[in-house]
């Protein structure tokens, strides 16, 4: 290969992988094992004491998983990554590493409904508290920061509305107050947008979505940007103070710009245990290889579908950042010039009842709670993913009663539009 930095498509296929040294297998093998033999007692002691890197137990790490982690870190421009059983698991480990009881974090109010639930309910059991803020109103973020705030969390491309967020502006606020910016980049994928380049310190994905791309495996990942000083404020003791379980090692001092990924692995994954299965890691690796091809097709199809829906007599509105007249279009051009993603929402003039009838009338689209599949998917959030929220919360999250969310697949776009048309005819 040349000495030039490999391109995105090349990294999507090759980053982190080598032919298997024992068999010569070109595809990364599925290392379907729970544990690994040590060379001797000194080797075992070095591994357990974080004085050497290597495999101990698949709950903590696995060779198939390691290739996936290195590949996604390369695609996102991070220093290291940690794969987990799901996107929710990745979020749990990130917050476990920065939060203490009684602390809070600021989160955008336009998020995936499951994240709203996790932050607003499950995290209360740890005495971690969320403060909601409108990501379009930077002042509303800053006014909620106090001496117990430990981070700011946003989605780069909000689910379900498909709106881009001004990452750089929010990063400036976060860093002014000595806080890390955590960005869920699931909807955009690193093909469209790399948040670390705009000031993010930590990136999270549900790899179940676009990274895997085929709806066949669960997985999450966190990527360490290597950009945050975990020792400066004294507010992140898991990284800046000696760890008694590792002989007094200070993780940030020892591991530098990939210390956060290490902390999530050896303090979070080790004890909380949401490990990704080797087989799922293998399937996700296979999906990553076609990520750039799929994402461009997703974007091209979605723009054509959104343009068609915008002019339909039964459609009240369409929210898709790729449309030139959309309020979010300028942010899309700034952050994601290759496209606005595959997921967007629209509203039917008949409201809640029309939305339910429309969804039930589709034939090519699959009605399910997922996005990022090769297949076109649909859901009515107010009656499904966001049903547990109050009407006010639904509207704030972009999931009001009339909202239908589409995840446009990579089928022939004429067939996608044909299915939408026959379903709208029934409303």
Q: Which residue, 298, 299, 224, is CA-closest to 72?
A: 224
Q: Which residues contact 76 (CB under 8 A, 6 or more apart)?
A: 185, 190, 194, 195, 196, 203, 223
pLDDT of residue 352: 84
Which two three-digit tokens encode residue 347?
């509203």
Q: Which residue, 97, 406, 368, is CA-closest to 222?
A: 97
pLDDT of residue 356: 87
Domains with residue ranges and CATH for the chain: 8-287 (3.40.640.10), 291-425 (3.90.1150.10)
Given a contact cutoff of 8 angstroms between Cβ atoms, the answer to whether 343 and 405 are in contact is: yes
Place of tokens 């696995």: 62
275-303 pLDDT per residue, tens: 999 999 999 999 999 999 999 999 999 99
Q: Which residue, 62, 13, 68, 12, is CA-closest to 35?
A: 62
Q: How far is CA 155 from the centre of its chain?
A: 8
CA angle 224, 228, 233 (to 5 degrees): 135
Between CA 311 and CA 89 the distance in angstroms is: 41
Residue 160, preceding peptide bond in cis (omega within 30° of 0): yes
pLDDT of residue 102: 98
Between CA 227 and CA 222 the distance in angstroms is: 14
pLDDT of residue 2: 58
What is the C-alpha radius of gyration for the chain, rounded to an integer number of angstroms? 22
Q: Which residues of the chain have pLDDT under 70?
A: 1-3, 397
Sheet with 129-133, strands from edge to edge, namely: 80-84, 220-224, 202-206, 181-184, 149-155, 104-108, 129-133
Handedness of CA 240, 246, 247, 249 (dihedral sign): negative
pLDDT of residue 85: 98
């Amino acid at each position: 290969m040349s000495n030039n930095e490999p391109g995105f498509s090349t990294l999507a296929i090759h980053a982190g992988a080598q032919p298997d040294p024992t068999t010569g297998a070109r595809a990364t093998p599925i290392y379907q094992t729970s544990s690994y033999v040590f060379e001797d007692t000194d080797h075992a002691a070095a591994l357990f004491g974080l004085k050497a890197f290597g495999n101990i137990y698949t709950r903590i790490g696995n060779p198939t998983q390691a290739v996936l982690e290195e590949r996604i870190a390369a695609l996102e421009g991070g220093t290291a990554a940690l794969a987990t059983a799901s996107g929710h698991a990745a979020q749990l480990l990130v917050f476990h590493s920065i939060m203490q009881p009684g602390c809070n974090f600021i989160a955008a109010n336009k998020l995936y409904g499951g994240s709203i639930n996790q932050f607003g309910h499950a995290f209360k059991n740890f005495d971690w508290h969320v403060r909601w803020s409108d990501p379009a109103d930077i002042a509303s973020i800053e006014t909620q920061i106090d001496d117990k705030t430990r981070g700011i969390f946003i989605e780069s491309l909000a689910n379900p509305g498909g709106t881009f967020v001004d990452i750089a502006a929010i990063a400036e606020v976060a860093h002014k107050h000595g806080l890390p910016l955590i960005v869920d980049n699931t909807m955009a994928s690193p093909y469209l947008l790399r948040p670390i380049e705009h000031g993010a310190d930590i990136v999270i994905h549900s790899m179940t979505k676009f990274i895997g791309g085929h709806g066949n495996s669960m997985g999450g990942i966190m990527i360490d940007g290597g950009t945050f000083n975990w020792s400066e404020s004294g507010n992140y003791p898991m990284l800046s103070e000696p760890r008694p379980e590792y002989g007094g090692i200070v993780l940030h001092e020892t591991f530098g710009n990939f210390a956060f990924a290490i902390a999530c692995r050896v303090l979070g994954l080790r004890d909380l245990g949401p490990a990704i299965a080797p087989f799922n890691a293998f399937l996700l690796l296979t999906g990553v290889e076609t990520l750039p091809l799929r994402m461009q097709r997703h974007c091209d199809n979605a723009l054509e579908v959104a343009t068609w829906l915008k002019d339909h007599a039964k459609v009240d509105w369409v929210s898709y950042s790729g449309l030139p007249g959309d309020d979010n279009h300028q942010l899309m051009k700034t952050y994601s010039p290759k496209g606005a993603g595959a997921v967007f929402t629209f509203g039917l003039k008949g409201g809640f009842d029309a939305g339910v009838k429309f969804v039930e009338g589709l034939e090519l689209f699959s009605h399910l709670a997922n996005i990022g599949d090769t297949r076109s998917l649909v859901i009515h959030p107010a009656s499904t993913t966001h049903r547990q929220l109050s009407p006010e919360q639904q509207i704030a999250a972009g999931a009001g009663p009339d909202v239908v969310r589409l995840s446009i697949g990579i089928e022939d776009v004429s067939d996608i539009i044909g299915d939408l048309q026959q379903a709208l005819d029934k409303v």
